[in-house]
Amino acid sequence: MKLRQKPEDFKVEEINQFKLLASGSYKLYILEKKSVETFGLLNDLSAQNKIPVHEFGIAGLKDKHAVTKQYFTIPSKYTLNPLKEQDFRLIFLGYVDKKLELGDLQSNRFEIVVRDIKKGETDSVIQKAQTITEICAPNYFDSQRFGSVIDKEFIAKYLVKKNYERAVKHFLTKSTAFEPRKFKEEKNKLLANWNNLSNLSLTQLNITNRTPYAILEEYKRTKNWLSAYKKIPANLREMFISAYQSYLWNECVKEILRKTVNNKSLYSVPYNIGSLLFYKKLSAGEMKLIPNSIKTISDELDINKLSPLEKYAIEKVLAKEGITLKDFNIKQETGNFFKTSDRAVLLKPEHFSISKPLVDELNTKGSMQRYKFILNFSLPKGKYATIITKRLFNQ
């Protein structure tokens, strides 16, 4: 299976309803883009039009390697002159009385082309597609949620365990495959000199990335790794928390499936921080055993008020992690916090359709025939379309 061989293979459109006004406090636009990162484009529009970037309101982030349609607002006092580019288009819709904020959308509509399917795999895909709206898919957080996780290590777990030096060290010295080579080399320098950083300046090490400066200068001043940790930008620290909390929630869902679904129906699919558990089929009886929702883990969670199944799953996951609910009370020390909320256990795609197997023009070579499917469906905000493709294609 191959996804996103072309930007046109992954199309996303925000679904929302607005009461458009003849005049109002904010101008509303549709942004259509291809292979363009949202924040980067907004920064360019900000610079070109002298509009502070914080004045742009968006409802959600959209994939870069895709064709997307999303809404955004700017205050009415500003004039927006579009950049002359072929990879995006701005359409003025009218006026609204409220700035768009993250989460201000109803759902997303997807059109996804899944390629490089062998002939012997097409029947299985069709069978799963026939039941997807009945037995759904586990509502996991997918790999996109875990961009802050490197080497499958969670900075927030180090916070929970009060290992603040490890949290800072991981942030400053671990590299992803996508980072510029120069930054990787600089991180390796920091790692090699970690135990002697108090006696060295970053200019001595020829560190050009400005991120470590404030963090390590704070440590030199205070000899306190917690104080140094707080110098990491707030938006990144929030990402560390949400990533670990999302991972724990995924692990709880896996425990629930192991308890409620016939083991012969279960199979694993890898994602960037481990594996997810899916089912080939689900009986009506099994579906009744699966709770409608389970809670995300935080110190405010009263575990004794949960159902026996949810309590079992959470206790098992916490034991595996070597932590307790009390350990999640980190707000006073770090300024970050975990919050309990409900999330549906199963994910049902709306308006779902799938094409018949079509010849894949990109991957068919000579007698080696490959097929593609075109999927169309909608999902509520905060859900992951790639979970649906994992459910159907086992990858």
Would you call 361 exposed, middle or buried from its count of C-beta atoms within 10 A (0-12, 13-18, 19+)? exposed
Using alpha carbons only, what angle is made at residue 254 by residues 352 and 103, rounded to the nearest 5 degrees? 55
- Report the C-alpha gap between 283 and 267 in whole angstroms: 16
Nearest alpha-carbon partner for 122 in 358, 380, 326 = 358
- Report the C-alpha gap between 395 and 391 in whole angstroms: 8
- Report the C-alpha gap between 327 and 317 in whole angstroms: 14
> In 10 A of CB 42, how many CB atoms?
19
Residues with Cβ within 8 Å of 284's Cβ and at least 6 positions away in sequence, in order, are none
Query: Which of 9, 63, 142, 360 does the annotation list as catalytic?
Result: 63
**38 vs 4, 30, 67, 188, 221, CA distance in Å?**
18, 12, 12, 30, 38
DSSP codes of every residue in 225-293:
HHHHHTTS-HHHHHHHHHHHHHHHHHHHHHHHHHHHS-GGGEEEEEETTEEEEEES---HHHHHHS-SE
Helix (H, G, I), strand (E, B) or coil at 15: strand
360 flagged as catalytic: no
As given in the structure block, the two tokens for residue 213 are 């400066």
Nearest alpha-carbon partner for 26 in 57, 49, 50 = 57
Query: What backbone phi and psi angles, to 5 degrees, belong to 231?
Result: -85, -10
Helix (H, G, I), strand (E, B) or coil at 101: coil
Catalytic residues: 63
